[in-house]
Structure 1
Amino acid sequence: MLRQRSEGRDAANRARIDEESHQAFIQQFKDKIGQDGRWWLPALNEADPNGVACWTNLEQFVFVPTGNTPPSGITLEQLAQIARAALTVPEPTIKLSPDAKSFVNLPTWVWLEGVGQPRRTVTAELPGVMSVTLVATLKSIEIDPGTTPDRAEVTETGCGAVGKPYTRGGAFSCGVRYMRASIDQPREKYTLTVTTVWPVDIQSQGGAVPFQFDPVQLEATRDVPVGEIQSNVTPPAN
């Protein structure tokens, strides 16, 4: 820090304008030579209209012994919030079987595509001081058929993390069985919603984060027209 503040064009200009003030300014850095610690400087969010005013009221150079942070410095909890704000998960695509249209009492298989890696991580850190890594792992999905239980029966016993793709002759264990046609619904369709659930694990260095984040949840929707198969029974001819 002494080298940064006593060399270069800016330092030379300050010394030329007022050598005595310049020497008094860099004395604070000379006093800390050989001590184990770090210099902290204020930072600001330039998008915040109050950022500059806040920054000018903060002490510009704070020396803190190794392993500590200044009273107004960022905390481990704040670092975790920064990481959480940067944590995103992919928006999936809902796949169905049957695909274009389902029918009353016919199992409609549900699964997801486009999820990619089911584990997402973000790290926020102050190098050498503290860090927080958030790990979001896709654990399950939740299916909303877009109607009431008397009109649709949801099965989620075999969904796992991304649902269950249709297999010929396979057991139906993830999807919806509609029991009423959608002819009386808006646009004559049900709107099915699948929510991916990503629990978040916190890994930290420099202390423990005293809270836990709620799981990250992301919804995807799909229109499902449901028809009704009609059959006529005629008596045999005499």
Structure 2
Amino acid sequence: MTIVLTATTAHAFGEGDTKNDTKGESDGNGSLSASTSSIRISYPSGGGGGGGGDKRGNLATIDPNWKPPACWYEPAFTPEQLEEFVDTDGGGDVGIHESWYGKRLWTDHYRDGKPADNFDLHAPTNSTAEGYEDYNLGKDGYFWRGVAPDPSDPESWDCGRIMFWVDAGDIPDDPHAPTPEMLAEYAYNEVKVPETEIELKPEAKSTVNLPTWVWLDEGTFKEVTVRAELPNTGLWAETTAKPVALHLDPGTADAETYPASGDCEINDDDSIGTPYTKGNADRTPPCGIRYLRATSGAPYRLTAGITWQISWEGTGGANGDLPDGTFETTQDMNVQEIQSINR
């Protein structure tokens, strides 16, 4: 679908003024891009930023219907900052799908009080945004803008207002205003967890009807906390991912898992399973797999995934849970018929 925005009588275009429906970048450093948020992310515990050389990746939610927020509104400029932006730049995203290039578009609405259209794709007609006098200089507050990490997401059209005024200390009365829960959901998408590198015995090659032991050393998996703060709102949230189980999928129906559910619980010392020791070949492992049929040609693809339980807390004592996440890795497993292994 192509959307063409046209000028109204209150929005006459001057020389070099353009208006479009795609994500724009402001001149220079892109200081008014609708795909860039001012939310600050930090990692209070668990090394969730992926530093220190460890291998980390993003969680995948186990709920296929859950997704992080597609769009929201947040503070962008004080009156003084907006005046400076218009005088020195004058090009950027006034809304998620509406970009203004040319100083006159900005001065008409934010300096000279002329109304402008919001861009409400899902409404029968665009609503009207009343204009402002002299950028609201002398008032205490912020001009808020819409933000969408992925402007191609159809749900990003739900935040159709152009940049609007909110008094200091207030949160706009809008279904897409930020909340602690929204920040928790945003933080969820920033959680980085260690790769699932399991220990096996035998390694990469098993034997029909004899168990393969699976374990992870203690201390490998610890809670990861991500904090999201939205400046100039007082809003924050911390999302914590707690490892609760290792799930094994042997890659074939011709196999049994230990335990039968395939879920190996995490021990009190943050280890999983029990390391294989000499003489344990015929014992049942607390965490492991027994293949019932040998591979023929292609190996089985063993999948090991850590399940992470997600909770959050935020401003004013708000708290709750989010869908569990998982991080999976796979490796080839060859299974032979000979019913013996090295002890």
Q: Assess same fold via TM > 0.5.
A: yes
Tell me the distance in 2 between the aligned counterparts of 1:192 and 1:9.
57
User: Closer, same or farther in 2 for the Cα pair 1:208/1:165, shift >3 Å?
Assistant: same
Unaligned regions of 5+ residues in structure 2, if any?
A: 1-77, 89-102, 114-131, 267-271
Unaligned regions of 5+ residues in structure 1, if any?
A: 232-238
The corresponding residue for 2:286 is 173
Shift of 1:109: 0.6
User: Closer, same or farther in 2 for the Cα pair 1:4/1:147, shift >3 Å?
Assistant: closer
- SS of the aligned residue for 2:189 comes to helix
- Superposed, 1:25-104 pairs within 5 Å as 25=134, 28-30=136-138, 32=139, 38-45=141-148, 48=151, 57-64=161-168, 66=169, 68-72=170-174, 73-104=177-208
Instruction: Say if 1:97 and 1:110, in contact at 8 Å, map to a contact too.
Output: yes
**Percent of paired sites with the same residue:** 33
Tell me the distance in 2 between the aligned counterparts of 1:197 and 1:160.
10
User: Closer, same or farther in 2 for the Cα pair 1:40/1:163, shift >3 Å?
Assistant: farther
What amino acid sits opposite 2:300 in the alignment? Y
What amino acid sits opposite 1:160 in the alignment? E
Residue 153, structure 1, aligned to residue 256, structure 2: yes
Superposed CA RMSD: 3.9
- SS of the aligned residue for 2:200 comes to strand
Q: Specify which of 225, 242, 255 is matched with residue 137 of structure 1.
A: 242
What amino acid sits opposite 2:208 in the alignment? V
Q: Specify which of 301, 305, 314 is matched with residue 204 of structure 1.
A: 314
User: Closer, same or farther in 2 for the Cα pair 1:9/1:60, shift >3 Å?
Assistant: closer
Tell me the distance in 2 between the aligned counterparts of 1:224 and 1:126.
47
The corresponding residue for 2:324 is 215
Instruction: Say if 1:195 and 1:218, in contact at 8 Å, map to a contact too.
Output: yes
Shift of 1:196: 0.8
What's the TM-score, normalizing by structure 1? 0.69
Instruction: Name the structure where helix makes up a greater proportion of residues.
Output: 1
- SS of the aligned residue for 2:286 comes to coil
Shift of 1:97: 0.4
Shift of 1:117: 4.4
Shift of 1:46: 7.7
The corresponding residue for 1:10 is 87
User: Closer, same or farther in 2 for the Cα pair 1:3/1:169, shift >3 Å?
Assistant: same
Shift of 1:62: 1.7
User: Closer, same or farther in 2 for the Cα pair 1:39/1:111, shift >3 Å?
Assistant: same
Shift of 1:77: 3.0
The corresponding residue for 1:236 is none
What's the TM-score, normalizing by structure 2? 0.50
- SS of the aligned residue for 1:138 comes to strand
Instruction: Say if 1:42 and 1:55, in contact at 8 Å, map to a contact too.
Output: no
User: Closer, same or farther in 2 for the Cα pair 1:8/1:41, shift >3 Å?
Assistant: closer
What amino acid sits opposite 1:199 in the alignment? Q
Tell me the distance in 2 between the aligned counterparts of 1:208 and 1:61.
26
The corresponding residue for 1:191 is 301
User: Closer, same or farther in 2 for the Cα pair 1:154/1:9, shift >3 Å?
Assistant: closer
What amino acid sits opposite 1:152 in the alignment? A
Shift of 1:207: 5.6
The corresponding residue for 1:228 is 337
Shift of 1:105: 2.3
Tell me the distance in 2 between the aligned counterparts of 1:8 and 1:58.
16
Tell me the distance in 2 between the aligned counterparts of 1:229 and 1:156.
24
User: Closer, same or farther in 2 for the Cα pair 1:186/1:55, shift >3 Å?
Assistant: same
Tell me the distance in 2 between the aligned counterparts of 1:2 and 1:139.
49
Shift of 1:41: 2.1
Instruction: Say if 2:210 and 2:339, in contact at 8 Å, map to a contact too.
Output: no
Tell me the distance in 2 between the aligned counterparts of 1:205 and 1:9.
34
Superposed CA offset, 1:93-147 (max 9, x none): 232101142212222111247x944222211112461111111011111112222
Instruction: Say if 2:196 and 2:305, in contact at 8 Å, map to a contact too.
Output: no
Shift of 1:29: 3.8
Asked which structure has the greater CA Rg, the reply is 1
Aligned length: 212
